[in-house]
Structure 1
């Protein structure tokens, strides 16, 4: 407990100082005021209870380290309390709908973390940072624990979506190139967030994947309808867009014939698969898609405007993602 307090106190002091100076602009939110009592207990990754998924038996020669997207959007908590059953279930749903593209070929490791509430998207950047750092610290602790105690030298995939990708990118910008095991990463699938030219300049060790079998590189895209790039909250200016139909970062149009199949997860537990669901083209920092059955993607919940297909970044290209992971895993085994 003393060690936990020593880790938390500096962070709490900063947050409290911000509160006292009025820097945190939380007053307009429906959530309660943020203070030290708003911070849930930090996960202890030596305990199984702090893991959403921790492979109990090793069935594959490679791993996937999954960081789930934003699942906290209630009106009570600024930060996710991973001990709450409803938060655990919501986190597990992301494995079914997203991380499942990797599960036939990789052992799954997925930590819980104190992510920030979706309402934080409406806050000024400085206030978001005051909340975000809890999750960033948690994932860094989890990834460090995973590499030191669970990975056992296997190649691994880094994967996330939305806030999960944002947290992973922040950590890679700070640490990638100095870890000593960069050559063990097959690829980083950072979907639902943007990797920009500025990011690559800030850390030249980060490389974007430029073809379907390249390894030790990163992938990023955000799906939108034509002309909706500027209203998508996850699209950053000057983003580099990976086209999941060609696995290049150019702006060439890729026809729907290359789409191996979309997969949508219905409320009743069934799934719907649609072959050749959409074309894709990188344009103005977003991935522009033209679904043949738009009714499947026109139900994005708030805060995503019409034409922002954020929650379907995995679904629209489900089979292409699955095939590509297999291809990169094979390339890693061949040393290519």
Structure 2
């Protein structure tokens, strides 16, 4: 799975690691505090060697045939380090490699058959780091941000070959990409090649846009060069979702607009739920979606299917991709087609 990656594989369950990851993420919970207490002081953290993106071992996924599709996708996986072993991910650890690979088999599968997949390893922060003071947290996440910045540069220099590309991520992956974009977007010289950025499971805020006016938030389904962010919660649960930040700007994945009116479940092409017994199950019309109080409020037809014993009821962070799986797949195709049409111009008369 590391040296090259095809899009032909069975999905595995996210439940095993995602529930534990997300259980710990509630700020100031005993689980998070216990993990942090067992680790050395953050300023004494062991810093693993940085990935060398010339080496195949520094890539979770690369395509067998890099010319299979006209566009690429760069996937940044969510948190897989949540035990009491280290503050930063050692990218040679087999258990963490397996955890990162699970996200390729599930969330990133939404882009299957549409793009050449590249997924770099990076020295992500232990989930417990989100409970640290901001300066200590930022010092740790700086390693992952620098890794992804280098991975993006390496990808552009060695693999891209002028193709349009998508960036996509979830959770801590979206956090790292958001930080990178706020700091550097508009200065990289690659902005015209961006089809879209699906930075789901974190927040892009109004303050971020003030800090970097080059960032454009998507406002319609075929818009390109823009970014998408949302966090799924039941009504009234916005305040229990630590990934919903003050001033978060939300794109509704059923309409791909920022309109706050209810998008009915009839617009939901299919929620795809991964479990241990089936590769996947898709439920058309499973949930509506409405932007409210900086979150994306959902009303699943059968909430019991979405419960975990570890995460607060109604905070559906682990299902941000699953709840809108078919809509994301369809929208990626729309944006790819729109970008290629503009790039190639109208057909000859």
Normalising by structure 1, report the TM-score: 0.89
Q: Distance in 2 between the 1:37 and 1:244 partners?
A: 39
Normalising by structure 2, report the TM-score: 0.86
Per-residue deviation at 1:92? 0.5
Query: Which residue number in structure 1 is paired with residue 52 of structure 2?
Result: 44
2:226 aligns with one of 213, 217, 234: 217
Q: Distance in 1 between the 2:322 and 2:49 partners?
A: 33
Structure-to-structure mapping, 1:313-332, within 5 angstroms:
313-332=320-339
Q: Distance in 2 between the 1:297 and 1:237 partners?
A: 26
The answer on 1:310 being equivalent to 2:310 is no
Query: Which residue number in structure 1 is paired with residue 340 of structure 2?
Result: 333
Question: How many residues are aligned here?
Answer: 310
Per-residue deviation at 1:305? 2.3
The answer on 1:188 being equivalent to 2:208 is no
Query: Structure 1 residues 300, 263: closer, same or farther in 2, change over 3 A?
Result: farther
Q: SS state of the match for residue 79, structure 2?
A: coil
Structure-to-structure mapping, 1:15-54, within 5 angstroms:
29-34=37-42, 38-54=46-62
The answer on 1:227 being equivalent to 2:236 is yes
The answer on 1:61 being equivalent to 2:70 is yes
Deviating 4+ runs (over 3 angstroms): 25-28, 32-37
Per-residue deviation at 1:89? 0.5
Query: Which residue number in structure 1 is paired with residue 19 of structure 2?
Result: none
Structure-to-structure mapping, 1:95-134, within 5 angstroms:
95-134=104-143
Structure-to-structure mapping, 1:159-308, within 5 angstroms:
159-299=168-308, 301=310, 304-308=311-315
Q: Distance in 2 between the 1:131 and 1:317 partners?
A: 32
Gaps of 5+ in 1: 1-24
Per-residue deviation at 1:232? 0.5
Per-residue deviation at 1:217? 0.4
Per-residue deviation at 1:278? 0.2
Q: SS state of the match for residue 127, structure 1?
A: helix
Per-residue deviation at 1:26? 10
Q: Distance in 2 between the 1:106 and 1:335 partners?
A: 18
Q: Distance in 1 between the 2:133 and 2:292 partners?
A: 27
Q: Distance in 1 between the 2:202 and 2:322 partners?
A: 16
Q: SS state of the match for residue 37, structure 2?
A: coil
Q: Distance in 2 between the 1:30 and 1:258 partners?
A: 47
Query: Structure 1 residues 154, 268: closer, same or farther in 2, change over 3 A?
Result: same
Query: Structure 1 residues 27, 98: closer, same or farther in 2, change over 3 A?
Result: closer
Query: Which residue number in structure 2 is paired with residue 11 of structure 1?
Result: none
Query: Structure 1 residues 96, 317: closer, same or farther in 2, change over 3 A?
Result: same
Q: SS state of the match for residue 335, structure 1?
A: helix
